[in-house]
Structure 1
């Protein structure tokens, strides 16, 4: 297949490299016009990828979006007119709400949603490391996407395991709630994920999870609060030495994805007049930290 990666950060680069190794024609669409882009993965040799090549974009069969959630709309909107109407678009990023914002532009295109637990790190400008073996789930956002189940097999051949999920919204909500619990809390506490397994945080985590699960139910997503809390603790323990992506963003004074994680829950809570005090408080804390940077500059 002809595949373009929109947003070749660490995860996007991991997918680009593995898909290239699997025999696909892979190009990148990044911020910088410099072309080609060269990098290695782990101990493998350096590969070269075309970047911001209009011909590659116009002829791509699959566009994989691996940007930060807040970057998606601004990056995707200008290139949609260059994409063939049948190009499959797979959104593979943290958070929710980006596709809804582009709904009018996407409804006649085959669209897939996905979530991945792979870990990747950009060690240098030309070196990517696969830091955590995970799995990827993808599913259809619309009826045209439902016809694209073969994409799971294509990706599975390159970066296994990849599974087709008939109810991808449920999987995305589960990931969202895990992120609601771990990301802003580790960012505000300035700690590694493992800190959250301590008993002093149990009631706060439980409240965050229960509030978010209540919002999920308004979207006909039935999730069990106790099972979700246990999943959060399991993930925190399994990644105990990691710093969450939001912690890294806040630590490095970069814009976080709070609007598409906790903010998505707050939007639903407001629409259905639900009380979500723990999530609201964390949202405000992150927003205050972000606002303080511009005040100090």
Structure 2
């Protein structure tokens, strides 16, 4: 089975490494030719528990990629990059291919809904990963890949996903994609924006009574929009649990702010605000966070 991993960031490199270790035929599609050339020449280095492993990998730029040859396309790019990438590969894709989306937020669901002829699954990733350079990724913490089917035209994607789990790279199937993505969205909206504005690590939010209360206000507003309305306290406990488990982690949104890059504020907070507007609801705390982050981005984009 031919797997195309689209995205040469930390998660793209991490996933590619573990897929290759499972003897999959992997092509890693990068944004730049320089990164693709380095990966082809030097290989992909995976660092875990202070041990380094060199993994041969085939890499091309997205423009060079023969996406039509892929059985599975795995999208490991930021949510704001996904739209342009989907437009670029539209003419290349073939009917009955399988797509696996690993984005934060929910905007990728809207893109997926426009692909009726494909098998599609959504996944969330809680592994800790840091890209040290163009060819090296450090696996900083074992987490999970959780996935759920969105629409199924063939069994290839499901069968392939069932071959992936290992002790180093756990993979779990869920029945309801909406529940899966909303669980991750609630965690992201409570942790990422606040850490991005305060400059704190995840666990530091729990050390402040005021910030913990602020997180709860964000959670309460976001939960108003949850389409399934499951056990609210269970979800709040999950947010606190993830915050504690990832105490030493720097959120992806804070990393983007530190490097003066675009954040995924629109896919996370913007999605909630658009949904609230459509339902006639006001989300003052989330609106404040959204505008504060937009202002921060604009300050270094001038």
**TM, length-normalised to structure 2:** 0.90
Structure 1 position 86, deviation (Å): 1.8
Whether the aligned pair in 1 keeps the contact of 2:80 and 2:264 (CA below 8 Å) is: yes
Aligned counterpart, 2:237? 230
Distance across 1 between alignment mates of 2:156 and 2:59? 29
Structure 1 position 80, deviation (Å): 2.6
Aligned counterpart, 1:81? 91
Whether the aligned pair in 1 keeps the contact of 2:148 and 2:180 (CA below 8 Å) is: no
Aligned counterpart, 1:256? 263
CA offsets, 1:19-75, max 9 Å, x none?
111111100111113444232111112423231375752211111000000000111
Secondary structure at the residue paired with 2:147? strand
Structure 1 position 17, deviation (Å): 1.2
Number of positions where the alignment pairs a residue of Structure 1 with one of Structure 2: 291
Distance across 1 between alignment mates of 2:32 and 2:143? 29
2:116 maps to 1:107 = yes
Secondary structure at the residue paired with 1:16? helix
| Residue of structure 1 aligned with 2:192, choices 174, 183, 195 | 183
Change (3 A) 1:277 1:45: same
Q: CA RMSD in A?
A: 2.0
Structure 1 position 155, deviation (Å): 2.5
Structure 1 position 238, deviation (Å): 1.6
Distance across 2 between alignment mates of 1:120 and 1:30? 17
Distance across 1 between alignment mates of 2:172 and 2:78? 23
Structure 1 position 210, deviation (Å): 1.2
- After the TM superposition, list the runs of 4 or more consecutive aligned residues in structure 1 that deviate by more than 6 angstroms: none
Whether the aligned pair in 1 keeps the contact of 2:3 and 2:73 (CA below 8 Å) is: yes
Structure 1 position 280, deviation (Å): 0.9
Distance across 2 between alignment mates of 1:114 and 1:214? 23
| Residue of structure 1 aligned with 2:105, choices 90, 95, 102 | 95
CA offsets, 1:235-264, max 9 Å, x none?
122212211110111121100000001111
Identify unmatched segments of 5+ residues in structure 2: none
Aligned counterpart, 1:284? 291
Identify unmatched segments of 5+ residues in structure 1: none
Aligned counterpart, 1:293? 300
Secondary structure at the residue paired with 1:45? strand
**TM, length-normalised to structure 1:** 0.91
Identify the range of structure 1 (162-171 vs 227-236) with the bigger mean alpha-carbon deviation.
Answer: 227-236
Change (3 A) 1:48 1:108: closer
Identify the range of structure 1 (138-147 vs 270-279) with the bigger mean alpha-carbon deviation.
Answer: 138-147
Aligned counterpart, 2:251? 244
Distance across 1 between alignment mates of 2:55 and 2:169? 22
Whether the aligned pair in 2 keeps the contact of 1:19 and 1:159 (CA below 8 Å) is: no
